[in-house]
Amino acid sequence: MRPLRSLLATIRRLVGNREGGVITEFAVACPVFVILLLGGVDLSRLVILHQKLDRVAAGLGDLVAQADELTQSQMNQLFQATAHVAAPFDFQRDGTVVITSISVTGGVPRINWQAKGGGGYVSSSKLGTGAGSTVDLPGNLTVTGTNTLIAAEVFFDFEPLFGVGLVPVSQLYHRSFFRPRVGSLKTLAGG
């Protein structure tokens, strides 16, 4: 009987004791705070990456639209700039850009040419693949008569640094459209 009374007395003393409560609460809350912190870092990286991909799409599309005519070699030089714009993200490993020239043939928007580069991520254009294929343009965007439209599509395979589950692995996509300013850009020379 005595050991039982001693055990009950010890339990009552421990239940009434408030020393060490803060440490226990901290031990419970700390993992939650760490997960929120790491998720916040990944979320910040994702927001910055979206901004950089918008810049890549707009910048590259605008540079192409300013040209009188382009060769594949010149396109390759433009693609090399994407790594600098997207830094510190590894665009050469996780990203790619597709530039598409679109004009009307037979009353339907069709692809004149496509050029792909800037990175090793494997993805196809969401507008269409290959010269001559039809294009479903977004919203109220139209191409009429002899006009040409230049589309820049950017793809990126985003993986969070910490993978705590707050920010998922994502395949990001950005695009921009420009009308050529000088030439028609209906052809891409091979040289």
pLDDT at 21 over 80: no
Q: Which residue has the higher pLDDT, 164 or 77?
A: 77
Model pLDDT for residues 137-159, shown as the tens digit of each residue: 888 888 888 889 999 999 999 99
pLDDT at 35 over 80: yes
Residue 30, φ and ψ in degrees, nearest 5: -55, -50
pLDDT at 44 over 80: yes
Select from 189, 123, 164 the least CA-distant residue to 39: 164
Model pLDDT for residues 86-121, shown as the tens digit of each residue: 999 999 999 999 999 999 988 899 999 999 999 999
Per-residue pLDDT at 76: 93
Do 127 and 102 touch, CB atoms closer than 8 A? yes
Looking at every residue in the chain, the average pLDDT score rounds to 89
pLDDT at 165 over 80: no
Per-residue pLDDT at 58: 97
Per-residue pLDDT at 145: 82
* DSSP letters spanning 29-70: HHHHHHHHHHHHHHHHHHHHHHHHHHHHHHHHHHHHHH-SSE
Per-residue pLDDT at 1: 63
Q: What is the mean predicted confidence (pLDDT) over 19-43?
A: 84
Model pLDDT for residues 67-79, shown as the tens digit of each residue: 999 999 999 999 9
Per-residue pLDDT at 141: 86
